[in-house]
Chain A
Amino acid sequence: MASKKLIYLFPCLAEKRKKVLQKIEQEYPEIKIVPIICAGRFNTDIALKLINDGADGIVVLGCEPGDCHYREGSAISERRFLLVKHTLKAFGFEEERFQALWHKPSEVKGVMNELNLFMEKLASIEQKGVEE
């Protein structure tokens, strides 16, 4: 039996992203969606707090670097997200719990595919934990 997961999704609020968000809401009702202005605005301390408080996974959905409405917004955050992953690793959390997805706002299929992969990863982490 799959236990209920606590997953947060932080999408950037590009105009055309509504379609993807609707699809995600339909397919994964357990994902909590918290819209933010831009992926570059995402405060990484919040990711650390949520994971430390027991969240299973965190996904940030942003535009591809160079494609961002705020020019270098998502590019700066890419480095910051790398640091978050390593902070998690240094303190004994699984770095796979934090994931950033870079897609064009109008894209639906690619996002759903990567989300699927992410959910599978989380499931495998959980299984590992049970086995140990």
Chain B
Amino acid sequence: MKKQIEKNIKSLLHSIWKSGDMAISWTKTSIPGKRTPFFIKNKNQIDQLVFDTFCAVSLATYLTEFNRKEILPEDFKGKLHITCKPCDARSVMQLFSDMQVSEELVNLIVIQCDGIADESKLTKIMSGYVSNIEEENDRFICKGIGGTEKSVPIRDCWLDKCSDGKNCDLPYYYGYYFVGNETEYRKRISNLLHTKTDLVQDTMSPKELKKLVNKELSSCIRCNACRNVCPACFCSDRCVFEQPKVNVKYLDSEDASKNNILYHMIRFNHVAPNCTGCGECERACPMSIPLSMFYKYFNRLMWEEFEYKPGKTNSERQKLLSYHLGEDLV
């Protein structure tokens, strides 16, 4: 089934490819279970692309760079094909509605996805380096060091967002290609979408919560990985944290947890209205800080206060930038 989907993506790209186009997709690396972003510039490179259970990287982030023409040749006139899982497609949709990327230049290819596995979780289960991974039905068959073999259910290595299932819905958009069986996919996710999320903020008192936040964020090294990988954080070179001429100096270079809290507070405060909950910040974090406890709170807030779900359409403006006199506040 998954090989068939990969074949279909390739044949689709072959059929719509025109000279001068570009595509962003995934490809294999030398490490088993790691997939890396891949820029296809020629038609004969299409066959190198890979789609399987390990394609965790969201490619929507590259579109923000595409906006600044960093990754494109200057005389680019073709279309940019981008392969997405449904959750990433919503990030792309949010970039459309924030007017960061022009819709005419991007061609969206949404791929049916049955949960994405996290390679780091697999290595944790195998307790060490994995030399070979093979997929069979719902299980991985992994070979570890010294020839030990283990079969692990795929569900155990899923990314956190996949078991939650809140971001799996498809956007309301007419212009995407869907690879896979769309009706079957919609049926599968329809039960998942209306689950309730339990958050620490509901049960804990401020003092307890502050202790927890302090503990979690004290390991932050402020490497900016969460900022750089976030598709909603698109003002990279004009970021508040990197303004040389800004009047207020927000952060000290000192690595105290107090500064770390402020860093994440300001970042989430900025990103909240257009965070689709893709979970890339948590995946990219080298210190594995559970940032989902924060963005889930803001996702729920946007829905409860404004009935607004980021990434649902390509035209609805985010609620903190659009206001017309006479409109209902809050």
A residues in contact (CB < 8 Å) with B: 43-46, 48-49, 52-53, 65-66, 71-72, 75-76, 78-80, 82-84, 86-87, 89-94, 129, 132
Q: Which of B201, B208, B319, B325 contacts A90 (CB 8 A)?
A: B201
Task: Report yes or no: A91 in contact with B294, Cβ–Cβ below 8 A.
Answer: yes
Task: Report yes or no: B329 in contact with A86, Cβ–Cβ below 8 A.
Answer: no
* 27 A-B residue pairs with CB within 8 Å: A43-B248, A45-B240, A45-B248, A45-B269, A48-B266, A49-B248, A49-B250, A49-B262, A49-B266, A52-B262, A52-B265, A65-B329, A71-B325, A72-B323, A79-B319, A82-B305, A83-B320, A86-B298, A89-B201, A90-B294, A91-B209, A91-B210, A91-B213, A91-B265, A92-B207, A92-B211, A92-B212
Which residues on B sit within 8 Å (CB–CB) of A89?
201, 206
Question: Is B264 an interface residue when CB atoms closer than 8 A count as contact?
Answer: yes
Question: Is B113 an interface residue when CB atoms closer than 8 A count as contact?
Answer: no
A46 CA to B261 CA in the complex, in Å? 14
Which residues on A sit within 8 Å (CB–CB) of B205?
132
Question: Is B188 an interface residue when CB atoms closer than 8 A count as contact?
Answer: no
A95 CA to B102 CA in the complex, in Å? 39
A65 CA to B328 CA in the complex, in Å? 11
Known: A79-B323, A91-B261, A92-B207. 6 other contacts (CB 8 A): A44-B269, A45-B269, A48-B265, A48-B269, A72-B323, A78-B329
Min CB distance B231 to A, Å, is 19
Task: Report yes or no: A76 in contact with B210, Cβ–Cβ below 8 A.
Answer: no
Knowing A52-B261, A52-B262, A94-B206, the reply to whether A83 touches B269 (Cβ < 8 A) is yes
A65 CA to B71 CA in the complex, in Å? 44
Min CB distance B112 to A, Å, is 34
Question: Is B31 an interface residue when CB atoms closer than 8 A count as contact?
Answer: no
Produce 1/0 per residue, B207-251, CB < 8 A to A. Answer: 111111110000000000000000000000000100000001010
Task: Report yes or no: B269 in contact with A78, Cβ–Cβ below 8 A.
Answer: no
A49 CA to B266 CA in the complex, in Å? 8
The residue on B at minimum CB distance from A89 is B201
